[in-house]
Structure 1
Amino acid sequence: MSDKQLIRGTMILTASIFLTKMLGLIYIFPFQALVGPTGLALYGYGYTPYTVLLSLATLGVPLAVSKFVSKYNALGDYRTGQRLLKSGLIVMTVTGFIAFLLLFFLANPIANHILDPNDLKGNSIADAVFTIRMVSVALIIVPFMAIIRGYFQGHQSMGPTAISQVVEQIIRIIFILVLAYFILEVFDGRMATAVGFATFGAFVGALGGLAVLLFYWKKRAPSLQKQIDESTIDHQIPLRKMYKELFAYALPISFVGLAIPLYQTVDLMTFVPAMRELGFTQDVAEKYYGTFSQASHKLILIPVSVATAMSLTILPTVTNAFINNETDRLQRTITQTYQIILFLSIPSAVGLMVLSEPVYAALYPGTPNDLAVGSEILRVYAPVAIAFSIFAVTGALLQGINQQKYAVLGLVLGIVFKFVFNGIFISLFAATGAVLATAIGYLLAISVNVWAIGKFAEFNYSYVLKRFMLILIFSVIMGAVVAFLNYGFQQLFPLETWLNALLVLLITVGSGAAVYFNLSIRSGVAGQILGDRFTILKNKK
């Protein structure tokens, strides 16, 4: 495969991941307007355990299958990859069905743990059970798709995966919004019914994604079969040995990918009960939970998605440089990856902190109380976006240098801390205690990752630390300007209407971006990090 094809494939997949994540972030705004914070909490009751079981059912299969198939294709053995696909489809169907049964029958215990059957306010246990069981159906089909995507990627064909992911997300979002609107606004149905059917959108979207993959399979089957027929080598690897190698690739990838879902699972099981112990009624506790786990969480994932998507094009170079013992190229790539993440995530987090009120008022219109709760949580939660970004990238870097066990170790330490202290912190600091437990857990994990990269890649952090300090200074200056403008414009346009909030947000965000990039360009930092091939980023003295 040529470098040009590799770059093209990487960019296609990166673009699809970014588009899919952005669509997943944006739809929550109109959905929250329809179902409210309590509806978002109910939605989270279904999707959080679904995400965990989906990760366990697929076990990082797409990337692992991609590596496996690519390895044996390079050796001229196309039959081994085909055997993996045939047996893998059966295995994934079985694991998907087992995951579906687990979530379906665990729905009642999960709902009873989260909710108080004696509290008639907020969501009922029956509503939570219905929602969890509706989303569980998607587990039957999604793992099956994962192995087909991995097989295509192993053949260096990124288009089927990219297009199927985007189609799956678009169909899911259309189904969620249209069905919720008709149930609530046209048929005057219950909010819980709308949320339950909305989670069923995961299954409907998966059908659309599978249809795309089957279309590509039919289209490319002749050429794939020709490769197999012309294959001169067949390693005749026993299935047991084949899956042992596959899981050696997949397990670390799967576990690191479970980071956010595992943290959210701890919150799912402890947040509402801990808030009730503080004296909050169930409906108020659920409002805080929905705001924290869905609305605010989706917002802070915006800078995480941007930073991670931009750095993905650099990460494949790490593996290549490490394997070929190209020390200088490895150091440059790690440095560049860190710089991109910090350059994008730090100012985004500072902006979300300073503008938490207009951001929440513009994107999640609601009552003054909803605004107060949402902006408070978002202000505290925003800096965690930096930790999410750094953990994702350092975990990928460790995979690139074959030290992924340290990413797993860091994740375990962080999750254990979150599990032990989440309830304690909530009892001390209410809803913001859950944010604090997440932040410290991620900092522990990042500390392990950063240490391991320094040790095994022999990476010197002195330059990155200097760049971090400079970016932080620029972000603080930007934050001060934005805070001043935010205060002034709120005197002219109080956040009492959606239009006022949007106007304040557009002016302050635009001004903040102008200040940050002006400082970055004049100092030469933007050109050094993003590449001075862009004329506008060149330092003009």
Structure 2
Amino acid sequence: MSSKLLRGTFILTLGTIISKVLGLFYVIPFYAIVKEHGTALYSFSYIPYTIFISIATAGVPLAVSKFIAKYNAMEEYAVGRKLFKSGLVVMLASGIISFLIMYMTAPFLAEISISSTKKNLEISVEDVTTVIRAVSFALIVVPFMSLIRGFFQGHQSMGPSAVSQVVEQIVRIVFLLAGAYVVLNWLNGSLVTAVSVATFAAFIGALGSLAILGWYWFKRKPHLDELLKEDKGTLDISLKDIYKEILLYAAPFVFVGIANPLFQFIDQITFSRAMGSIGLEDQAQAAFSILNFESHKLVIIPVSLATAFSLTLVPSITKSFVENDRKGMRRQLDQTFQVLMYLTVPATVGLALLAEPMFTVFYEHKDLGTEVLRTYAPVAILFALYSVTAAILQGINEQRFTILSLLTGLLVKLSLNIPLIKLFETQGAVLSTALGYTAAIVINMFVIKTFARYPMGFVARRIALIITFSGLMAGVTMAFYQVLVQFLSPASKFQSVVIIVISALVGAVVYFYLGLRTKLVDKLFGDRVTKIKRKLRLPV
């Protein structure tokens, strides 16, 4: 891999991580401003928006970058420029159409999301309609913007995408927090107006990102035009064939990207009614906020880094599959699953153990929040496994099964959600999500085992070892935690931070020490741990 590509990949990964970190920590001041009913209202609008935006743009940057990189390598630069020019028109049109559909269907989306059998609920159908319409404006800009990012990535220029992602998040968060605060505290506006401003921030953030991309375009256009002069001009591909190829590249990413929002949307349209059927309608909206906004934001933390790290191994799986190198492919699959589990399992165990102080730090001390987060944390492992197994299916050219696995998982979720909520209340929704993802993962793993002829015995033994290490870590961490709570209160934000830092540090030291002593880390990460071992004076 060239140093330019390595540098570009690092820049893009760094930009993505910064964006995700900002997207996590803004919830602390946002929750302080709008409280649980505000975050519930925010979730009611943002989940449909995520589905719309996933359909409109999921896979577009990667598909466009893959297409342009392919033809640039053939020195057919005009083909990529042809896609770019027509694509801008297509994506702008699709964005406007998506906006109009979401704006006009907002009353219907609100109606199916809210149980309106009682009139004294804090959030009404009209409130949700207003907020959904506020966030829908972002659909005009985001698809258009995604195409530009893909164009730059296709030229191995990752800086514009990375910088625009970070700027988009910063602009969105500043507008979101400032807008919500000003509406509620200076203008004495309603909660609905404040949350509408907060969701409209997605449109403002997208404009900020688009401005950055425009600046990069004018800065780099002379170089891009120079490439056109070197065009061989031997290919004349029709727009129909271009978009057919783009759709083939993008389709698998649409289904992977849309999975989590669809699971959340099932909760959105069933949760309030299910809770109302057991006499808990007054608690439904606050519980929904805890489930689909507050806890979900924290559960995604251990998923992001582990999944990103594991997915870097997928290209080598693709290469081994294409070259029919079965031995190499098995080795890469083993490494992918082990790295994923090695990073995700202890993180989810730690999140479950420290659920009470974690929820307090990000939101407030709340018994239901602690219970739901503790139940939800292990589901992060399933989120990560689904993303990686779906990516592997693409690597072995069996991506068609991602549709089957996703639909099966959604059917399981939809079938069991209401019965389980009636039995276990909010935790029932978590359980149905876990069962739905499990069904999807089982199908993905079966396909991998069948078509890649992948034996799972070795990796199963390694995962058992990882679970053992995580259990030992949990035992030590829990012991320290029980001592700490004798002197510090997890109901206090500052004291919760101290509890989390000390407990997490103890757990991390125990876990990684076990990995280093047994040389499991060496097997997973190679020479990169040698320096760490030497510093710790452990045998290399």
TM-score range, shorter chain: over 0.9
Further displaced range: 188-197 or 159-168: 188-197
Cα distance in 1 between the residues matched to 2:291 and 2:220: 45
Report the CA distance shift for 1:417/1:408 in structure 2 as closer, same or farther (over 3 A): same
Aligned equivalents of 2:333 and 2:15: distance in 1? 24
Please identify, of 410-419 and 488-497, the stretch whose mean Cα deviation from structure 2 is larger: 488-497
Amino acid at match of 1:36: K
- Listed one character per residue, the Cα deviations across residues 350-408 of structure 1 (whole Å, up to 9, x for unaligned) are 11111111111222125xxxx10100100110000001111111111221221111222
**Aligned length, in residue pairs:** 535
8 Å contact from structure 2 (residues 256, 390) kept in 1: yes
Over 3 Å counting, the alpha-carbon distance change for 1:268 and 1:116 in structure 2 is closer
Q: Which amino acid aligns with 1:448?
A: I
Q: CA offsets per residue over residues 291-340 of structure 1, 9 Å max, x none?
A: 11011001011000110222233222222333333434323322222111
- In structure 2, distance between residues paired with 1:506 and 1:232: 59
> Taking every aligned residue pair, what percent have the same amino acid on both sides?
44
**Contact 2:114 2:269 (8 Å CA) reproduced:** no
1:274 corresponds to which residue? 274
Separation in structure 1 between the aligned mates of residue 320 and residue 222 of structure 2, nearest angstrom: 35
Shift of residue 189 of structure 1? 2.8
Q: Which residue of 2 aligns with 1:342?
A: 341
Cα displacement string for residues 210-263 of structure 1 (whole angstroms, at most 9, x for unaligned residues): 111111111111111221222113422222222112111111221121111111
> Which ranges of structure 2 fall in alignment gaps of 5 or more residues?
none
Following the alignment from structure 1 to structure 2, what is the Cα–Cα distance between the partners of residues 108 and 59?
25
Aligned match of 1:294: 293
Contact conserved, 1:14 with 1:313, CA < 8 A, in 2?
Answer: no
Paired AA for residue 301 in structure 1: I
Aligned to 1:531, the other structure's residue is in SS state helix
Deviations 1:488-507 (A, max 9, x none): 22222233322222222222
Instruction: Using the TM superposition, give the Cα deviation of residue 188 of structure 1 relative to its aligned residue in structure 2, in angstroms.
Output: 3.3
Contact 1:64-1:246 within 8 A present in 2 as well: yes
Q: Paired residue for 1:459?
A: 454
Q: Residues 350 and 59 of structure 1: is their aligned pair in 2 closer, same or farther, counting only changes over 3 Å?
A: closer
1:149 counterpart = 2:137 = no
Once the two structures are overlaid, the 10-residue window that deviates more, 55-64 or 91-100, is 55-64
CA-CA distance at 1:537 after TM superposition = 4.2
Residue of structure 1 in register with 2:164 after alignment: 164
Residue 4 of structure 1 is matched in structure 2 by: 3
Partner amino acid for 1:533?
Answer: R
Aligned to 2:39: 40
What SS is found at the alignment partner of 2:292? helix
Moved more, 29-38 or 164-173: 29-38
2:227 aligned partner, one-letter code? Q
Q: Is the 8 A contact 1:358 1:505 kept in 2?
A: yes
Per-residue CA deviations over 1:146-178 (Å, capped at 9, x if unaligned) read: 111111111121111111111111111111112
Q: Which AA in structure 2 matches 1:268?
A: Q
Question: How much does 1:137 deviate?
Answer: 0.1
Counterpart check, 1:128 vs 2:131: no
Q: Secondary structure at 2:7's aligned position in 1?
A: helix
**Contact 1:531–1:537 (CA<8 Å) still a contact in 2?**
no
Deviations 1:171-201 (A, max 9, x none): 1111111222222233333222211100011
Report the CA distance between 1:141 and its aligned residue: 0.4
**C-alpha deviation, 1:124, in angstroms:** 2.0
Residue equivalent to 1:505 = 500
Residue 137 (structure 2) aligns with: 137
Q: Tell me the equivalent position of 1:536.
A: 532
1:231 equivalent in alignment to 2:241: no
Determine the C-alpha separation between the residues in 1 that align with 2:518 and 2:316.
Answer: 28
* Equivalent pair of 1:354/1:379 in contact (CA under 8 Å): yes
Shift of the alpha carbon at 1:55?
1.3
Higher deviation after alignment, 463-472 or 238-247: 238-247
1:242 aligns with 2:242: yes
Aligned to 2:94: 95
Q: Is contact 2:357-2:491 (8 Å) kept?
A: no
- Out of 467, 481, 484, the position equivalent to 1:486 is 481
> Compared with structure 1, are the counterparts of its residues 14 and 315 closer, same or farther at alpha carbon in structure 2 (3 Å cutoff)?
farther
The answer on whether the counterparts of 1:45 and 1:128 sit within 8 Å (CA) in structure 2 is yes
Work out the CA distance in 2 between the residues paired with 1:483 and 1:59: 40
State the SS of the aligned residue for 1:279: coil
Q: TM-score, normalised by structure 2?
A: 0.96
Conservation of the 8 A alpha-carbon contact between 1:100 and 1:139: yes
Q: CA RMSD for the aligned pairs?
A: 1.6
Equivalent position amino acid for 1:153 in 2 = Q
Contact between 1:22 and 1:305, CA under 8 Å: does it hold in 2? no
Rounded Cα–Cα distance in structure 1 between residues aligned with 2:98 and 2:139? 6
Deviates more, 1:479-488 or 1:171-180: 479-488
The corresponding residue for 2:66 is 67
Instruction: Report the Cα distance in structure 2 between the residues aligned to 1:206 and 1:466, rounded to whole angstroms.
Output: 46
Check whether the contact 2:115–2:272 (CA below 8 A) recurs between aligned residues. no
State the partner residue of 2:202: 202
Deviation at 1:531, TM superposition (A): 2.7
Q: What displacement does 1:114 show?
A: 2.1
- Retained in 2: the 8 A contact 1:79–1:234? no
Equivalence for 1:359: 358
Does the aligned pair in 2 maintain the 1:527–1:537 contact within 8 Å?
no
CA contact (8 A) 2:382 2:434 kept: yes
Counterpart contact for 1:79–1:228, Cα < 8 Å: yes
Aligned equivalent of 1:431: 426
> What is the alpha-carbon distance in structure 2 between the residues aligned to residue 150 and residue 401 of structure 1?
24
Give the equivalent residue in structure 1 for 2:17. 18
Q: Which moved more, 1:250-259 or 1:489-498?
A: 489-498
Secondary structure, counterpart of 2:528 in structure 1: coil
Shift of 1:91: 0.9
Q: Does 1:330 align with 2:326?
A: no
Counterpart of 2:260 in structure 1 is 260
Q: Which residue of 1 aligns with 2:182?
A: 182
Is 1:515 aligned to residue 510 of structure 2?
yes
* One-letter amino acid of the counterpart of residue 510, structure 2: V
Q: Is the 8 A contact 1:321 1:327 kept in 2?
A: yes
Q: Distance in 1 between matches of 2:326 and 2:281?
A: 58
- Structure 1 537/307 Cα, relative in aligned 2: closer, same or farther at 3 Å? farther
Q: For the residues of structure 2 that align with 1:404 and 1:20, how far apart are their CA atoms? A: 28
Report if the CA contact (8 A) 1:65-1:246 is conserved.
Answer: yes
- Residue 422 of structure 1 aligns with an amino acid whose one-letter code is N
Between the aligned partners of 1:513 and 1:183, the Cα distance in structure 2 is: 43
Distance in 1, matches of 2:234 and 2:66, equals 17
Task: Give the superposition deviation at 1:115.
Answer: 2.1
2:272–2:284 Cα contact (<8 Å) kept: yes
Which moved further from structure 2: 160-169 or 496-505?
496-505
Which consecutive unaligned segments of at least 5 residues does structure 1 have? none
